[in-house]
C-alpha cells in the first residue's frame, strides 16, 4: 500500500501540465498579483500511467504499537441492493486523460480507478458522507485492539465474470498474489487467511486503522480478481475477471485509445447495470475533449481542465467538482540549516501573514480557487473550518513578527519552483509579497519533473512550491508528506510534540479519528510548516443527458457506476 499511496499523492502534484511564464527573480518591492490565470494545456498524446516507488511512506505501514484499551470495532451493515431497474442507456462514453500500463489491479493506483471500478466491486465502499458501507464484504470487524487483523464477512451467492465462485478462498488467493508479486497494495500485508467459506482475515505486519479505507474503490487494494487470474495474473493484464457489473470487451478495445466495457452476465445485482456499454476514451488534449463533449461523442470529461470549464458551461454542459488540492509553499528547512531565519516559527508565520490569499485565489487555479491557511480540506478527518482563515493578510503583523524574531531588516531565501501546474506564476506572486516585507526572494525554476523532485531532497532549498492532495485521511497525509524524511519534510529530525499526536492517531479507529486528526492540523498550521494559498477543485464537465455525476469530499472522482441516463 506504500507505493500506491505514494504514487497517488505524487500524481495529485503532477496530474497535468501547465503552460506559464518561466520562473525568474522577483525584484519589485510592491506585491504583483497576476491579472489572468495561467492557461492550462495537456500533452497531445495520452501519457501511460505507470507504477513506481516514491521516497515516501504511507499509512499502510504506520506503526500502531502504542498500547490501546479500545474494544475491537465491529461493523455490520445490511446488504445493499438496488431497486427495480430503470431502462438502460445504450452507451456512456467518458473522456479520460490517461490509460493504464496494465489492467491488473495489483499494478494500478487510484489514478487508474475508472478502469478498475467497472469490472471489480471493491470489498468496501464509502457513502456520500464518508462512512464505510458494505459491498463485497457485508460485515467487518477488528480482531484485537492493535489494528493488525481485520475480519471480513463476504457477500454470498456471488460469481466472477467467468462464472467462478467468489468466496474466502478466492479473496485469500488474490491477496496472496498481491504479496507474491510485490503488487502496489502489498506493502504492510502479512497474509490473508480464509477462516470459513465466506470469512476472511487480513493480517498486517504493523497496525493500520485505515485498512478499511484501502479496501474501497479508490485504492483498488480491495478489488478481487477471479481464481484463474490468481493462478495466472497475466490473464488480467489485458482483460478483466472480477465481480463488477461490467467486463472488458477485448474485441472493441484499442490499447492506449479506447477501452470498451459490456455488462457482466453473472453480476450479482443486475438492476445496478445502467448501460449496455461503457467506453473510456483517452483524450489527453482538453480542447479536444470539450469538442467531443459538445458534439455528443462523449458524455463526460473526467476530469475537466479548468481552461475549458467556462466554455463548456456556456455550451450548456453541466459542471460538478469538489476541492481536492492545496497549492502553496512548503518550508523544507524548518531547522534553519540553509536559511537560518526559517528555524523561528515567528518568521514562518510572518511569511504567511504577508500574502494576500484572497487576491491570489481570484486569479490562480483558473480563478476558481478558495483562500486557505491549512493543508487539510473537507473530506479529511483533520479538516477544521476554524483554521481556514488562520493567516489573514496583515502586513503590519508580518513585519512585527520579523522584528520580534530578530530579522527586522529581512533576509534572503530561494524558492524551488517549476513551470508546470502554474507553480512559477504562484512563486512569482508570493515572492513579490515577501519582498514587500523585506525578504529578498529569488526563484529557481526547474524545467522538468525529475529535476524538481531531485531539488526537493537535495538539501539546497529552504522553500519549495507545493501542490498536495488535502482530502485524504491525516495519517496517510502525515506519512506521505509531513513525516521526517518524507518528500515534503526532508529533515529527519523527529518532532516530539507532533509525534505524540501521531502515535495516538495511529492507535485510534479511523471512524473516531477526527478529534485527534484535528490536533495534527492545528499543530502544523500554528507552527507554519507550510504557506497554503488556495484550495483547488477537481472538476467534471458532463452532458445534461446524464445524471449521477456526484463527486464527494471523500471520493473526489465520481463513481461511474452511479451515472445514469437523465430522466
* Per-residue cell: 543: 452532458
For the stretch 423-470, pLDDT in tens is 999 999 999 999 999 999 999 999 998 999 999 989 999 999 998 889
Residue carrying the nine cell digits 477462516: 195
For the stretch 71-86, pLDDT in tens is 333 333 333 444 566 7
Give yes or no for a contact between 119 and 280, defined as CB atoms under 8 angstroms apart.
no
Give yes or no for a contact between 131 and 555, defined as CB atoms under 8 angstroms apart.
no
Backbone angles phi, psi at 223, to 5 degrees: -85, 110
Coil vs helix vs strand at 433: helix
Q: Are strands 463-469 and 412-417 parallel, antiparallel or unpaired?
A: parallel
Give yes or no for a contact between 103 and 310, defined as CB atoms under 8 angstroms apart.
no
pLDDT given at position 360:
96
* Per-residue cell: 103: 489492467
DSSP 365: G
In the chain, which stretches have pLDDT less than 70? 1-85, 183-187
Query: How far is residue 449's CA from residue 465's CA, in Å, rounded to a whole number?
Result: 13
DSSP letter string, 33-65: --SSPPPB---SSPPEE-----S---GGG----
Longest dimension (CA), the chain: 74
Instruction: Work out the burial of residue 133: count CB atoms within 10 Å of its CB; fewer than 13 is exposed, 13-18 middle, 19 or more buried.
Output: middle
Domain ranges of the chain: 59-317+543-565, 322-537
Residue carrying the nine cell digits 484463474: 228
* CATH for the stretch 59-317+543-565: 3.40.190.10
Give yes or no for a contact between 301 and 542, defined as CB atoms under 8 angstroms apart.
yes
Query: How far is residue 422's CA from residue 20's CA, in Å, rounded to a whole number?
Result: 6
Coil vs helix vs strand at 251: helix
Give yes or no for a contact between 475 and 210, defined as CB atoms under 8 angstroms apart.
yes
Distances (CA, A) of 244 to 117, 138, 180, 188, 236: 7, 16, 24, 26, 14
Distances (CA, A) of 75 to 72, 127, 171, 207, 260: 10, 15, 19, 18, 36
Which helix H or strand E contains 132, and what residues bound it?
Answer: strand 132-134
pTM above 0.75, yes or no: yes
Q: Are strands 199-204 and 246-248 parallel, antiparallel or unpaired?
A: unpaired
Beta bridge partners of 301: 95, 541
Nearest to 236 by CA among 117, 107, 94, 52: 107
406, 411, 417, 419: CA torsion to nearest 10: 130
On whether the 322-537 domain is CATH 1.10.540.10, my answer is no
Contacts of 214 (CB under 8 A, 6+ apart): 1, 4, 60, 185, 221, 222
Nearest to 487 by CA among 471, 473, 466, 502: 466
DSSP 129: T
pLDDT given at position 187:
66
Amino acid at each position: 500500500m506504500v507505493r500506491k499511496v505514494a504514487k497517488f499523492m505524487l500524481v495529485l502534484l503532477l496530474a497535468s501540465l501547465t503552460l506559464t511564464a518561466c520562473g525568474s527573480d522577483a525584484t519589485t518591492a510592491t506585491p504583483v498579483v497576476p491579472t489572468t490565470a495561467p492557461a492550462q494545456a495537456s500533452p497531445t498524446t495520452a501519457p501511460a500511467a505507470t507504477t513506481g516507488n516514491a521516497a515516501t511512506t504511507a499509512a499502510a505501514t504506520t506503526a500502531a504499537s502504542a498500547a490501546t484499551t479500545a474494544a475491537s470495532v465491529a461493523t455490520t451493515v445490511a446488504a445493499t441492493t438496488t431497486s427495480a431497474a430503470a431502462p438502460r442507456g445504450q452507451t456512456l462514453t467518458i473522456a479520460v486523460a490517461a490509460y493504464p500500463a496494465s489492467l491488473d489491479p495489483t499494478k494500478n493506483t487510484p489514478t487508474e480507478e475508472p478502469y478498475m471500478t467497472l469490472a471489480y466491486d471493491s470489498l468496501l465502499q464509502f457513502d456520500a458522507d464518508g462512512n464505510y458501507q458494505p459491498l463485497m464484504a457485508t460485515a467487518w470487524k477488528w480482531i484485537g485492539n492493535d489494528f493488525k487483523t481485520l475480519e471480513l464477512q463476504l457477500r454470498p451467492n456471488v460469481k466472477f465474470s467467468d462464472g467462478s465462485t467468489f468466496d474466502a478462498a478466492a479473496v485469500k488467493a488474490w491477496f496472496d498474489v498481491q504479496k507474491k508479486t510485490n503488487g502496489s497494495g502489498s506493502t504492510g500485508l502479512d497474509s490473508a487467511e480464509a477462516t470459513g467459506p465466506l470469512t476472511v482475515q487480513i493480517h498486517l505486519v504493523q497496525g493500520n486503522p485505515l485498512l478499511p479505507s484501502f479496501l474501497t474503490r479508490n485504492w483498488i487494494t480491495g478489488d478481487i480478481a477471479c481464481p484463474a487470474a490468481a493462478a495466472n495474473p497475466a490473464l488480467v493484464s489485458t482483460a478483466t475477471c472480477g465481480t463488477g457489473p461490467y467486463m472488458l470487451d477485448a474485441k472493441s478495445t484499442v490499447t492506449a485509445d479506447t477501452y470498451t466495457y459490456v455488462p457482466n452476465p453473472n453480476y450479482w445485482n443486475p438492476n445496478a447495470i445502467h448501460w449496455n456499454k461503457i467506453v473510456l476514451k483517452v483524450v489527453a488534449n482538453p480542447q479536444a475533449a470539450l469538442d467531443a463533449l459538445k458534439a455528443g461523442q462523449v458524455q463526460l470529461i473526467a476530469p475537466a481542465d479548468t481552461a475549458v470549464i467556462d466554455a463548456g458551461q456556456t455550451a450548456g454542459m453541466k459542471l460538478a467538482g469538489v476541492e481536492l488540492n492545496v497549492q502553496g509553499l512548503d518550508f523544507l528547512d524548518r531547522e534553519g540549516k540553509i536559511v537560518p531565519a526559517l528555524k523561528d516559527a515567528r518568521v514562518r508565520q510572518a511569511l504567511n501573514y504577508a500574502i494576500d490569499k484572497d487576491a491570489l485565489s481570484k486569479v490562480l487555479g483558473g480563478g476558481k480557487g478558495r483562500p486557505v491557511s491549512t493543508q487539510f480540506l473537507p473530506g479529511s478527518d483533520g479538516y477544521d473550518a476554524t483554521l481556514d482563515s488562520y493567516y489573514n493578510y496583515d502586513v503590519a503583523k508580518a513585519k512585527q513578527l520579523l522584528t520580534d524574531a530578530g530579522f527586522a531588516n529581512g533576509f534572503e531565501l530561494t524558492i524551488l519552483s517549476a513551470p508546470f501546474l502554474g507553480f512559477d506564476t504562484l512563486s512569482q506572486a508570493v515572492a513579490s509579497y515577501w519582498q514587500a516585507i523585506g525578504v529578498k526572494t529569488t526563484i529557481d525554476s526547474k524545467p522538468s519533473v525529475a529535476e524538481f523532485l531531485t531539488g526537493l531532497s537535495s538539501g539546497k532549498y529552504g522553500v519549495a512550491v507545493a501542490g498536495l492532495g488535502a482530502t485524504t485521511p491525516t495519517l496517510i497525509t502525515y506519512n506521505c508528506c509531513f513525516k521526517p524524511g518524507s518528500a515534503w519534510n526532508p529533515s529527519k529530525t523527529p518532532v516530539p510534540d507532533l509525534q505524540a499526536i501521531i502515535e495516538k492517531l495511529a492507535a485510534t479507529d479511523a471512524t473516531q479519528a477526527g478529534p485527534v486528526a484535528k490536533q495534527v492540523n492545528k499543530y502544523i498550521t500554528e507552527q507554519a510548516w507550510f504557506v497554503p494559498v488556495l484550495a483547488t477543485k477537481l472538476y467534471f464537465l458532463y452532458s445534461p443527458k446524464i445524471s449521477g455525476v456526484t463527486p464527494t469530499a471523500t471520493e473526489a472522482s465520481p463513481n461511474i457506476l452511479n451515472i445514469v441516463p437523465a430522466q
